[in-house]
Amino acid sequence: MIEPCDLLIHSVSQLVTCAGPPGPRRGAAMRDVGIIPDGAVAIRGSTIIAVGSSNELRRRFRPAQEIDAGGHAVCPGLIDCHTHIVYAGDRVAEFEQRCAGATYQEIMAAGGGILRTMQLTRAATTTTLVAETLPRLNQMLRFGTTTAEVKTGYGLEQDAELRQLATIELLAAVQPIELVPTFLPAHAIPPEFADRPDAYIDLVVESMLPLAQERYRNSLFAGHHIPLFVDVFCERGAFDVAQSRRVLSAARERGLPRKAHVDEFTELGGLAMALEMEATSVDHLDVTGAAAFPALAASNTIAVLLPLVSINLGITHFAAARQMIDAGVAIALSTDANPGSAPSLSLPLTMAIACRYLRMVPAEALLATTVNAAHAIGLGGRIGALMPGMQADLIILAEADYRWLMYELGGTPIAQVIKRGQIVWKS
Ligand SMILES: N=CN[C@@H](CCC(=O)O)C(=O)O
Ligand SMILES: [Zn+2]
């Protein structure tokens, strides 16, 4: 019997399904991307209803609309699971300081870095923040990103943090990339609390978190079953392990899922604390030693690696992705897009660097920006793979082989982007 469908994409050289059993990918399973040669995908509404060979699906379905992929590859839409894209201004002057030899931490300790962006973001209205962030999202779409996590963390005071959260919600409603909000008021010690960071943590747990949760309950995110995460920057010069634990444990008491920036420059002990707090993800891990890998591998926590930070800061040391994968750690990759440590919006560039410097193979890099990235933002099983029942988010590449995504250094090998079954970008 011939069935109706809304959209049939056929003549796909490689339909890279990333399909597999439920849960994040680990070990050897991170190298199996499930390619269907001469593949096709049938979509009804915003959902995938079938994947298979072009011959089979063209016989089985009568589509309202058809896309002949013309021998190009198709992959799941890419998921950027760690970004800081809502901010005002730029840090071009600091970039020049770093070119001249200043380090990221020196600039931060001198009141620049995150605090510089905080000043500009506090002074910006919601309208300005929306206007400055929209072009970033448009660029991300061209790079194949169909879902992105977005953090607050440049307000560092109640009103400005809530304004950033409201900006994320406004942005989610006016452009096609699906956004997942993360509340990060403990991103840096605000100047008003320079000598009393514990008092700032009191404010975060007693006032800011409850208010953010209340706003979230009435937001479109809650209505769409998109979680609100709570995050903290556990690092020398930011928050210590005890302060970070207070933030995450307050989030846990409120039933909010957790993330933590750990081991970016210093192995402080934030990783073990975040695992104890059952964080959904631990992010950075640039200096994490091998002794921590077994506990991470045994947990349900995703390790989000951000290699553009090392590249951008001119650091020659990278997260030990190869050893982590071999130890069974579930790895995701993300841009960490932000004005300071990673001014890039490109997941293809992130994957390209991961293949060259983190010794990941292309299949691992793709699963790290699809299936595992979905799990890092609590949306595993809903996005990240091309399987019946999953949301129809996919990218049609400009090439026949999906490995062009990692092979080309700094390019945009993407021809079309489809979000929830609709074409949202075409080259
Ligand atoms: N490390 C802390 N936060 C960001 C940097 C933000 C900034 O420099 O503005 C990061 O993930 O790299
Ligand atoms: Zn970050």
154 in a known ligand binding site: yes
User: Could you tell me the distance, in angstroms and rounded to a whole number, from the CA of residue 338 to the centre of ligand 2?
Assistant: 8
Give yes or no for residue 263 CB within 6 A of ligand 1: no
Output the pLDDT for position 349: 98
Between CA 416 and CA 413 the distance in angstroms is: 10
Atom of ligand 1 lying closest to residue 283 CA? 11
User: Could you tell me the distance, in angstroms and rounded to a whole number, from the CA of residue 362 to the centre of ligand 1?
Assistant: 26
91 in a known ligand binding site: yes
Mean pLDDT rounded to a whole number for the chain: 97
Output the pLDDT for position 115: 95
Output the pLDDT for position 171: 98
Alpha-carbon dihedral sign for residues 354, 332, 288, 326 = negative
72 in a known ligand binding site: no
- Angle at alpha carbon of residue 281, lines to 276 and 286, rounded to 5°: 100
What average pLDDT does the segment 195-209 reach?
98
Mutation to probe ligand 1, out of 261, 263, 282, 344 (largest number of atoms < 8 A from CB):
261
User: Could you tell me the distance, in angstroms and rounded to a whole number, from the CA of residue 390 to the centre of ligand 1?
Assistant: 32
The interface predicted TM-score (ipTM) is: 0.97
The CA-to-CA distance between both ends of the chain, in Å, stands at: 36
**In this model, does residue 411 exceed pLDDT 90?**
no
User: Could you tell me the distance, in angstroms and rounded to a whole number, from the CA of residue 14 to the centre of ligand 2?
Assistant: 33
Output the pLDDT for position 348: 98
Atom of ligand 1 lying closest to residue 91 CA? 9
Q: Is 123 helix (H, G, I), strand (E, B) or coil?
A: coil
Give yes or no for residue 286 CB within 6 A of ligand 1: no
- Angle at alpha carbon of residue 427, lines to 141 and 408, rounded to 5°: 75
Between CA 63 and CA 147 the distance in angstroms is: 26
Output the pLDDT for position 216: 98
317 in a known ligand binding site: no
- Strands in 331-333's sheet, in edge-to-edge order, are 259-262, 281-284, 302-305, 331-333
User: Could you tell me the distance, in angstroms and rounded to a whole number, from the CA of residue 62 to the centre of ligand 1?
Assistant: 49
Between CA 294 and CA 287 the distance in angstroms is: 16
Atom of ligand 1 lying closest to residue 264 CA? 1
Full-model pTM: 0.98
Atom of ligand 1 lying closest to residue 340 CA? 8
Q: Which residue has a Cα nearest atom 11 of ligand 1?
A: 336
Give yes or no for residue 341 CB within 6 A of ligand 1: yes
Give yes or no for residue 339 CB within 6 A of ligand 1: yes
Alpha-carbon distances, residue 87 vs 42, 84, 155, 304 (angstroms)? 39, 8, 9, 22
Q: Which residue has a Cα nearest atom 2 of ligand 1?
A: 233
Domains of the chain plus CATH, in order, are 1-75+384-424 (2.30.40.10), 77-375 (3.20.20.140)
- Span 359-395, pLDDT tens digits: 999 999 999 999 999 999 999 999 999 999 999 999 9
**In this model, does residue 108 exceed pLDDT 90?**
no
